[in-house]
Amino acid sequence: MATKGLIIARDLVVGYGTDPVCAPVSVAVTEGTALGVVGPNGAGKSTVLQTMVGLLAPISGSVQFDGRDVDEREAGFRRDVATVLDDDAFFPSLTGQEHLLLTARGHGVDAAEDVVAAEIAEFGLQDRADALPSALSSGQRRRLALAAAFVRPARLLVLDEPERRLDTRMRRRLAERLREEVADGLTVVFASHDPEFLATLARRVLIVGDDACRLTGPAEAVAALHEG
Ligand SMILES: Nc1ncnc2c1ncn2[C@@H]1O[C@H](COP(=O)(O)OP(=O)(O)OP(=O)(O)O)[C@@H](O)[C@H]1O
């Protein structure tokens, strides 16, 4: 059983109502490491991530962040944990740039304008920074959602299929960027269907299944993804 880590799930049963969507999860994610989460469509990856960040209540078991039960309404938890689970979670009347500035300033970032400008460039949004989210392509919205996670400080970043709708170049860049952030101490938990993303970033991988959720190394998980 997992005992040490920034975020720890213990015998965590996740699902909707009283119906579990997968086998129980026990995992501890050490600070400054990345955990990949894999499994076929509908296996329960998103449900596990949402439960780990307190958006869904566990059916049973527990999740602790930094030694305390997860409560996403707590200011400290919201300050320390950034998520990119759903890229439609934008203020509809704010431009991309305004959304990023609000996020950065809300988190007390110094020189917010410079930080936002750097992430707009990093995510290739210079030409569309003044557009409303509804006027962006789905890939641009995805980039904006990811940029929002980087304009603010965080100890834990939770990403649901970060590679989704990104072109190959941006996908590789993002995986490398995340790897650098992890080397600098960030903890990352991410679900993915992309073997390259997984191999670049994950030190350990949780394979989500009906009969068991088990931990493995990235090589075995990548082989499993290639087998489909
Ligand atoms: N709001 C909900 N209410 C009831 N069941 C749901 C709800 N959301 C998802 N499910 C079901 O829970 C199961 C797990 O879904 P989940 O989205 O966690 O899978 P996933 O592993 O992330 O899949 P994918 O790879 O397709 O994104 C699926 O059978 C799905 O249909």
Rounded to the nearest whole angstrom, what is the distance from the C-alpha of residue 41 to the centroid of ligand 1? 8
Whether ipTM exceeds 0.85:
yes
Model confidence band, residue 134 (pLDDT cutoffs 50, 70, 90): very high
Measured between alpha carbons, how far is 131 from 51 in angstroms, rounded to an integer?
33
The pLDDT of residue 11 is: 97
pLDDT at residue 3, rounded to an integer = 52
The fold of the 7-91+155-227 domain, in CATH, is: Rossmann fold (3.40.50)
For residues 62-85, average pLDDT = 94
Weakest mean pLDDT among 5-14, 47-56, 97-106, 211-220: 211-220
SS3 assignment, position 146: helix
Q: Which residue's alpha carbon is at the smallest distance from atom 1 of ligand 1?
A: 16
Rounded average pLDDT over 176-191? 97
16 CA to centre of ligand 1 in angstroms: 9
Domain spans in the chain, listed from the N-terminal domain onward: 7-91+155-227
Please give the number of the atom of ligand 1 that sits closest to the Cα of 50: 18
